[in-house]
Structure 1
Amino acid sequence: MSEAYLRFWGVRGSYSAPFASHLDVGGNTSCVEIRADGHLLVCDAGTGIIPFGQHLMQQDGIREMLVILTHYHWDHVCGLPFFLPAFAEDWRLNFFGPGQNAGEIERHVSAQMRAPYFPVSTDTWHAAVDYLQPPGGNLEHGPFRISYQNVHHPGITYGYRINLNGKVIVYISDNECLFLNKSIEQRYQEFNSEEQRLYDSMKREEYDSALQFMQGADILIHDAQYTPEDYEKKRGWGHSCYIDTVNSAIDAGVGQLYLYHHDPNYDDERINAIHQDCLRIIAERQSALDCHIAREGLTLDLA
């Protein structure tokens, strides 16, 4: 294993799906490990962080990590009550996520581990735990330089842009691509010509802003939860149709796209079919985008 790598520990959205028909892609919810130069960054703490914690307890090289949370929906934090390093005295855990201050982040992280939801609170954690005050600029953790911005998902939800030794990794687990654009298009004929001109400008600005955050990323890990049929039923729920995800990645000049936050109702066969359709779109657009399915256990060499 190289000194710099990324590994997927959980790739599902909404809820875990430990079904035989899902095991090739994986059933755990969001968790991604990025390790470099003896430093550890973890993106989200869904059920994937549980086997990750068991793995960490079997090694001696690292005893500190930064956990960046996109938001506090249960599929992104429900692994924390079972995360073994939190109960070990020789570990230090640093948390960051949406919140006005460190105290608010702490309240959000600890809320699920209070009665009546769970019998053991974060007060029982033996690890040294810090909740990071939101910085004025970028977060830093060892070689990682991290910026963040709001994305389209219910509540306050962050996407993260991670600079690591000359590579850019963008992690946007929950995001509804083109949300404003599609909302305007639904009612476009109700507007007069001047309103249509204004809204056309707004759509362009919104899309350009979204693309700028992804622009030129070496690796983009992005929500691709829905087929077009399911997206029409769940418009506004805060997740992307895979077609919008792949087109956005092409427009942003991304190097590698990893389709992520898979719907728990989709089995391996259906996700493979989504991937094949993404490859068709890429070929039709004559793009050089390299598109993959984010699979549990998949490891990318970042050296």
Structure 2
Amino acid sequence: MRVRFRGVRGSVPWAVPDGIGHGCNTPCIEVVDDRTGAILVLDAGSGIVGLSPLLTGEPRPVSVLLTHYHWDHLQGLPFFATLYQPGWETTIFSPVLTSHERGWLDTMFKSPFFPVPYEHLPNRPQLQMVRAGELNIGGFEVTALPLNHPGGALAYRVRGAAAVVLDAHFTPKELPQHRGWGHSDWRQCAEFAAANNVGGLWLFHHKPGRSDQELVKIRTDARRIFDATETASEGERLQL
């Protein structure tokens, strides 16, 4: 299984010179099954545009699995290459949440928000609703678990993976001022990884404007709790 981070920032793709090293696009993770070539895309933030070089040659099934509907996790979807390339079978797996509005996909493509209406897309995706539980998504065995996040969200466990990617948006000092925002701090993530003996921890969903220097310090501090900690960087590849 190959994993690549395509977007690692939270909230907004805010490009700042001292944060370029980790990347500035919003959440998207690419997972490829080495045996079958099947592609699983976790979330559709602005980082999803970076998958374009992968989506060439013989068309393959592509599964886009969404955690929730906040804008930073959807904003790249109208620009996803397979929606404009006939032959590619794209399925969007859409979580059933308390705040879920079934017409969300059509709304994204409506004027004045986007120039190409959904019904005019060259390759319209299939839409499939998912709930918490055991799922088979494009050949990947996935467990979906509910999260404590405004409006609801799902976390996903992909069978065969040996690492955990967690939202570390805040520092422990910042978190008390942001209770109820639905994000974690890096210390909570490191303690979770240590308690569950995971193979490796990648801190993710970095706060907009967080500099590379700050993220290096966060990684250093987190490693005092869980040694196998990394701060996810856009373009980084993992072989699991």
TM-score scaled by structure 2? Answer: 0.91
CA contact (8 A) 1:223 1:262 kept: yes
Structure 2: any 5+ residue segments left out of the alignment?
Answer: none
The partner residue of 2:10 within 6, 9, 13 is 13
Q: Hey, which of these two has a bigger chunk of helix by percent? A: 1
Partner of 1:188: none
State the AA in 2 paired with 1:152. N
Alignment pair present for 1:230 and 2:174: yes
Greater shift in the superposed pair: 139-148 or 237-246: 139-148
The partner residue of 1:80 within 54, 77, 81 is 77
Moved over 4 A (4+): none
Distance 1:260 1:18 in 2: 16
Greater shift in the superposed pair: 292-301 or 89-98: 89-98
CA contact (8 A) 1:50 1:79 kept: yes
CA contact (8 A) 1:149 1:158 kept: yes
Partner of 2:191: 247
The partner residue of 2:67 within 70, 83, 106 is 70
Distance 1:44 1:105 in 2: 17
Distance 1:42 1:77 in 2: 12
State the AA in 1 paired with 2:127. Y
Distance 2:216 2:156 in 1: 26
TM-score scaled by structure 1? Answer: 0.73
Partner of 2:116: 120
Structure 1 pair 239/140, CA: closer, same or farther in 2 (3 Å)?
same
RMSD across aligned positions (CA): 1.9
Partner of 1:278: 222
**Partner deviation per Cα, 1:102-122 (whole Å, 9 max, x = no partner):** xx6752233222233223222
Partner of 1:191: none
Structure 1 pair 49/105, CA: closer, same or farther in 2 (3 Å)?
farther
What pairs up with 1:1-303 in 2 under 5 angstroms? Answer: 4-36=1-33, 37-52=36-51, 54-57=52-55, 59-99=56-96, 107-134=103-130, 137-163=133-159, 167-168=160-161, 218-282=162-226, 289-302=227-240
SS at match of 1:254: coil
Aligned residues between the structures: 236
State the AA in 2 paired with 1:96. F
Shift of 1:136: 8.5
Structure 1: any 5+ residue segments left out of the alignment?
Answer: 169-217, 283-288
* Larger RCO: 1 or 2 (CA < 8 Å, sep 6+): 2
CA contact (8 A) 2:59 2:87 kept: no
- Greater Cα radius of gyration, structure 1 or 2: 1
**Partner deviation per Cα, 1:179-221 (whole Å, 9 max, x = no partner):** xxxxxxxxxxxxxxxxxxxxxxxxxxxxxxxxxxxxxxx2100
**Partner deviation per Cα, 1:140-173 (whole Å, 9 max, x = no partner):** 134410110110110120000111xxx23xxxxx
Structure 1 pair 300/61, CA: closer, same or farther in 2 (3 Å)?
farther
Structure 1 pair 80/264, CA: closer, same or farther in 2 (3 Å)?
same
Distance 2:182 2:129 in 1: 27
Shift of 1:135: 6.5
CA contact (8 A) 2:65 2:94 kept: yes
Partner of 1:286: none
